[in-house]
């Protein structure tokens, strides 16, 4: 027998390694068992717990079994195998950190959601909450309104509604949580102007959208509230410019008999979320998806950006598809 480090290896080590390279899994299994104690010791030092270390060692064996034919120097078997193990260990650590972060964010989301629900109990708390949300930047505020005030509150849905990557949603919400809690704690003497203005905008949109199909004057008021160079972003990611696009959408609804029925409306600062369901006539049952949400961004009292997000129906299952 000869030794490599503190582990004795078979005298026919090179022959066994070459046999493994040539496709003999039994030879590879024998070599792997010789090195398993050392591999497990390395994995334990990195992973910090036995189950994760054992998983890393097992994954390394499977990777070696799959890629052993790539090894050109039989004498380099153990360094090659150790490198595979290290990669698996560090990958496991990254997954652990991501999972821990996800759990932390979910706990944080739950606390904030519960806090928001509790803070609607009194007028004074509503004022503080709306003042805190309005203090956020437009980018952060839109994510917060969708996450905590709408039905479209998963990271994927928020990303689709706003047209940004999921990773950006996560980072914006993380920043918003910190600022929101800090600002909320400061706004003990917040006045009612912020809440009153938010309710005014929500009420205004409710009056427009509930009558837009039946009242020509209301319809023109809605169009006039949109900036002539309005930017519209659709569910598909396609964007267009000009309020005439919205005018055509409403005109087509009138032509085909489709209707958007307003549900929840949430406003804060220069942003409003309008949620609702769509109904189609019998002769055009699939023209519009089951429900939609509009995200309106205002400047100087007029809407300059309009995000229209639909819940798409999965035709094979009859279920919503985001």
**Predicted pLDDT at 208:** 94
Q: Are strands 259-268 and 319-321 parallel, antiparallel or unpaired?
A: unpaired
Q: Is the confidence at residue 50, as pLDDT, over 60?
A: yes
User: Do 39 and 85 form a contact (C-beta atoms < 8 A)?
Assistant: yes
CATH class of the domain at 194-321: alpha beta
Q: What is the pLDDT of residue 269?
A: 85
Q: Is the pLDDT of residue 183 over 80?
A: no
| pLDDT level of residue 111 (50, 70, 90 thresholds) | low
Higher pLDDT pick, 32 / 3: 32
pLDDT number for residue 257:
93
Pairing mode, if any, of strands 226-233 and 302-314?
parallel
**Nearest-angstrom CA–CA distance, 251 and 223:** 12
Q: What percent of the chain has pLDDT over 70?
A: 78
**Which pLDDT does position 4 carry in this prediction?**
42
Residue 95 has pLDDT above 80, yes or no: no
Residue 37 neighbours by CB under 8 Å, 6+ apart? 7
Task: Answer whether residue 158 shows pLDDT above 70.
Answer: yes
User: What are the residues whose beta carbons fall under 8 Å from the beta carbon of 11, sequence distance 6 or more?
Assistant: 1, 2
Structural domain boundaries in the chain:
2-96, 115-186, 194-321
Residue 109 confidence (pLDDT): 58
Flag whether pLDDT at 223 surpasses 90. yes
> Pairing state of beta strands 302-314 and 291-299?
antiparallel
Residue 311 has a CB neighbour count (10 Å cut-off) of 21
H or E stretch at 279: strand 271-279
Q: Is the pLDDT of residue 2 over 50?
A: no
pLDDT greater than 80 at residue 86: yes
pLDDT in tens, 278-295: 999 999 888 888 889 999
CA 92, CA 50: separation in Å to the nearest integer?
12
Q: Per-residue pLDDT tens for 225-280?
A: 999 999 999 888 888 999 999 999 999 999 999 999 998 898 888 999 999 999 99
Among 45-54, 88-97, 181-190, 279-288, the range with the most confident prediction by mean pLDDT is 279-288
If you search the block for the tokens 């009153």, which residue do you land on?
A: 196
pLDDT digits (tens, 9 = 90+) for 8-26: 555 667 777 788 777 777 7
Mean pLDDT of 181-186: 64
Calculate mean pLDDT across residues 112-131.
55
Q: What is the domain class of 115-186 according to CATH?
A: mainly alpha
Name the CATH topology of 2-96.
Rna Polymerase Sigma Factor; Chain: A (1.10.1740)
The percentage of residues in the chain with a pLDDT greater than 90, rounded to a whole number, is: 26
For residue 73 the two structure tokens come to 């120097």
Which residue carries 């999965």 as its tokens?
314
Separation of alpha carbons 45 and 89, rounded Å: 10
Cα dist from 147 to 140, 225, 261, whole Å: 11, 26, 22
Tokens of 9: 């290896």
Six-digit token string for 228: 């002539």
Question: Is the pLDDT score of 1 beyond 50?
Answer: no
Residue bearing tokens 């990557």 = 165
Q: Give the pLDDT confidence score for residue 22 in this predicted structure.
A: 79
- In this prediction, residue 40 carries a pLDDT of 83
Phi-psi region of 301 (alpha: psi -120 to 50; beta: other; left: phi over 0): left
Report the distance separating Cα 33 and Cα 28, nearest Å: 9
Tokens coding 37: 């104690």
């Amino acid at each position: 027998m000869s030794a490599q480090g503190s582990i004795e290896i078979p005298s026919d080590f090179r022959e066994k390694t070459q046999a493994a390279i040539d496709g003999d899994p039994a030879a590879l299994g024998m070599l792997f068992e010789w090195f398993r104690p050392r591999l497990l010791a390395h994995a334990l030092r990195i992973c910090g717990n036995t189950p994760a270390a054992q998983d890393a060692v097992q994954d390394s064996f499977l990777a070696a079994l799959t890629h052993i034919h790539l090894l050109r120097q039989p004498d380099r078997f153990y360094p090659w195998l150790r490198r595979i193990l290290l990669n698996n260990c560090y990958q496991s650590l990254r997954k652990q950190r991501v999972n821990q972060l996800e759990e932390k964010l979910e706990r944080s989301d739950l606390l904030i959601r519960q806090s928001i629900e509790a803070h609607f109990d009194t007028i004074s708390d509503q004022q503080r909450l709306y003042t805190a949300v309005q203090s956020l930047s437009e980018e952060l505020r839109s994510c917060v309104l969708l996450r905590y005030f709408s039905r479209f509150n998963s990271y994927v849905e928020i990303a689709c509604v706003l047209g940004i990557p999921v990773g950006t949603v996560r980072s914006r919400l993380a920043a918003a949580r910190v600022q929101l809690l800090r600002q909320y704690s400061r706004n003990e003497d917040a006045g009612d102007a912020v809440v009153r203005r938010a309710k005014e905008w929500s009420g205004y949109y409710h009056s427009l959208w509930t009558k837009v199909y039946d009242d020509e004057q209301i319809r023109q008021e809605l169009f006039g509230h949109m900036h002539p160079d309005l930017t519209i972003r659709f569910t598909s990611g396609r964007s267009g410019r000009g309020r005439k696009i919205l005018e055509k959408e409403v005109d087509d609804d009138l032509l085909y008999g489709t209707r958007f029925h307003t549900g929840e409306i949430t406003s804060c600062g220069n942003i409003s979320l309008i949620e609702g369901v769509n109904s189609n006539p019998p002769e055009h049952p699939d023209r519009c998806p089951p429900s939609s949400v509009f995200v309106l961004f205002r400047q100087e009292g007029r809407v300059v950006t309009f995000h229209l997000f639909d819940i798409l129906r999965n035709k094979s299952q009859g279920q919503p598809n985001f």
